[in-house]
Amino acid sequence: MIQAAYIVPHPPLAVAPVGRGRERAIAATLESYKRVAEQIAALAPETIVIITPHSAMYTDYIHIPPGESASGSFSRFGAPETRFSAQNDIALLNEACRLAETRGIPAGKEGAREKEMDHGAMVPLYFINSKYKDYKLARFSISMLSPETHYQFGVCLRDAAANINRRTVIVASGDLSHKLTEDGPYGFAPEGPLFDSEVTAAMKSADFGKFLEFDESFCAAAAECGLRSFIVMAGALDGQAVRTEFMSYEGPFGVGYALCGYTPVGPDETRRFTREAGDAYVILSRRALEAYVRAGKKIKPPEGLSEMKTARAGVFVSLKKFGQLRGCIGTISPCYASIAQEIIENAIAAGTKDPRFPAVDEHELEDLTYSVDVLSPAEPISGSWELDVKKYGVIVSSGFRRGLLLPNLEGVDTIDEQVSIALRKAGIAPGESYKLERFEVVRHK
């Protein structure tokens, strides 16, 4: 049973014998760590699982440190007297290995290189041990395998704890961007503050699906280290309603430190992040596709959606699976009696009639994220200079051929790219004449 989960940073200077006073610059982080330790002590877990990016890390294998016990010290950071030791939860480690093998996830205890605990594990333990020590430890590394694989490994951890009836707390250890300031040890990159802003927003809303959608090149430019740890934690909370407590964020040394806690709760207390994420538009699109795939039924718009049931507009519904497009179908102008009905019809079509993809299977439904774009009426324009790829979508037409591209799409950065893609979708060849229209959207996600 997962009792709680925490995202925490691991700056060695947060440990007083290492920081020697410098830790006072991250007072908010220290106070939040104290709160985390107190909460864990109150839960009294049998096992603490720590996911760390600084243990043995392989390209294609998630390493699980072996052995009956684990120990380490901060000697490499000038504080050899600050030491740790803990008994490993062999039963949990073995069950996680077994489940990973049966599910085709490359993970196990082979390839151990470092005997001592790394600071990604020891910094959290420094604070936890100040309040609570009656636990066994289970450490897990990360790898260069896909975010999806790490998420599924987190599901293995959840199931392993349930299978052996172990009260467990998950600690996802990881710093955010290392490129927040020019005078920091790693310099500055504009992606750094942007990454921290987006990932902390996802933490606050328990929008764990967002963790899977970050572009790898963006993460590399931001020089983050914790995202895959957070994704494993998200997998361990798969399908579980959670109460979120975002505790603090700061980055005075040019590195982002965030602490956030998640407590599993009953489904009536908060939304399920996988099934009920988003506003009413997104929830309706999800329910429409799930009902159709599972039972072949078209749902009716629920009561209480007056705006969606009285207004009419074109609507596009987009599906993504682990950050990749899985279907997108829409209407340029309204075809049905209401926006609500437009959403229902287009959600079903996006999952079952997009010619670029096979129809969505029932087993995929849990992995889908949805967005709903409600279109304003299109207006003719005299040329592409009246477009803005972030603000306006574009419609190109020549005779009966029409192509549309939504605004503010990832990877579409210029007007020329936007128009070129729309022309290809319409089947309009280079050199042919065409008309241009633009429209705005309200995006729900």
Residue ranges covered by each domain of the chain: 2-264, 278-372, 376-445
Cβ contact 17:240 at 8 Å:
no
Element (H, E) at 284: helix 280-295
Beta-strand ranges (E) seen in 196-264 are: 242-250, 257-264
Nearest to 142 by CA among 219, 238, 217, 50: 50
The answer to whether the Cα torsion of 27, 55, 5, 214 is positive or negative is positive
Nearest to 394 by CA among 414, 410, 411: 414
Sort strands 2-8 and 257-264 into parallel, antiparallel or unpaired: antiparallel
DSSP 402: E
Q: Which CATH number fits domain 376-445: 3.40.720.10, 3.30.1490.150, 3.40.50.300, 3.30.70.260?
A: 3.30.1490.150
Cβ contact 96:107 at 8 Å:
yes
Q: How high is the pLDDT of residue 306?
A: 55
Alpha-carbon dihedral of residues 193, 194, 198, 201, nearest 10 degrees?
Answer: 40
- Secondary structure (3-state) at 264: strand
Nearest to 370 by CA among 262, 271, 283, 295: 283
The answer, as to whether pTM is greater than 0.85, is: no
Q: How high is the pLDDT of residue 272?
A: 42
Report the 10 Å Cβ neighbour count for 68. 7
Q: Cα–Cα–Cα angle for 151, 155, 159, nearest 5°?
A: 170
Nearest to 4 by CA among 119, 170, 121: 170
Q: Hey, what amino acid is at 249? A: Y
Distance CA 306, CA 381 (A): 33
Beta-strand ranges (E) seen in 159-277 are: 168-173, 242-250, 257-264
Phi-psi region of 327 (alpha: psi -120 to 50; beta: other; left: phi over 0): left
Distance CA 416, CA 411 (A): 12
Q: How high is the pLDDT of residue 206?
A: 87
Q: How high is the pLDDT of residue 113?
A: 65
Check if CATH label 3.30.700.20 holds for domain 278-372: yes
Q: What is the mean pLDDT of each run of 10 residues along the chain (445 residues)?
A: 96 96 94 95 96 89 89 94 94 95 89 80 96 95 91 94 96 97 91 94 87 90 95 89 91 95 69 51 90 91 65 93 89 91 96 95 89 92 93 94 90 92 92 94 86
Report the 10 Å Cβ neighbour count for 322. 16
Cβ contact 187:222 at 8 Å:
no
Say how many Å lie between the first and final Cα of the chain, rounded: 31
- Distance, CA of 184 to chain centre: 27
Distance CA 335, CA 381 (A): 24
Give 66's Cβ-side CA count (13 Å radius): 7
Helices (H) and strands (E) in the chain, counts: 12, 18
Cβ contact 441:390 at 8 Å:
no
Q: CATH second-level architecture of 2-264?
A: 3-Layer(aba) Sandwich (3.40)
